[in-house]
Structure 1
């Protein structure tokens, strides 16, 4: 299982076997996605930058990091499925938009927002 379509199908089969689709309105999925993002953020609460950078080197913390990232991805897949969004296509289009907003010659090494330069 190495592509988003196959992963989405497996996720929907998991959901449907449990009759959870009834709870998966677009709003509920978006809320759940953000709650999971908050759990990812919570892994870094009160940590120094170097402690956050070290999370992947600790087996238990790395597992928690992987689990939260996976939860976010799974909810994002359900949001995209519900909204009819092809995530690969959307990401490619967004990269094109960002390339136009942030040309290399003006933004290389800069953290400025496109409308601030």
Structure 2
């Protein structure tokens, strides 16, 4: 991971350790918490038009930022518990998607690839 993610991961690990929460921070629980927080983020945009979603009020912007922080925190904590380098995993995924969605056929096209490649 890069140093910012390493620092965040360590801060989250220390936070959990200080509270004796490692016992609860197993992959299943962290993945479920991540999904729950992602749902709370989605709820902030529910019923907004695309224009409204792109121009949030300061209050809504602050709520979205807080929900995004929760999502990131659970994702980083899950990666720490599973010993996954998120930056490396994301880089690998970008490379795989570049092959799966070549510019010549994917540019301006939102169709999902329908092959059997790894998602």
TM-score, normalized by length of structure 2? Answer: 0.90
* Structure 2 residue aligned with 1:91: 90
- How far is 1:84 from its partner? 1.3
Distance in 2 separating the partners of 1:114 and 1:53: 27
Distance in 2 separating the partners of 1:23 and 1:53: 36
Which runs of 5 or more structure 2 residues have no equivalent in the other structure? none
- Runs (4+) of structure 1 exceeding 4 A deviation are none
Which runs of 5 or more structure 1 residues have no equivalent in the other structure? none
State the Cα deviation string for residues 80-101 of structure 1 (Å, max 9, x = none): 1111110010000000000000
* Structure 2 residue aligned with 1:43: 44
RCO (CA 8 Å, sep 6+): is it higher in 1 or 2? 2
* Structure 2 residue aligned with 1:108: 107
TM-score, normalized by length of structure 1? Answer: 0.91
Coordinate RMSD, CA, aligned: 1.3
State the Cα deviation string for residues 52-102 of structure 1 (Å, max 9, x = none): 1112xx211111111000100000011111111100100000000000000
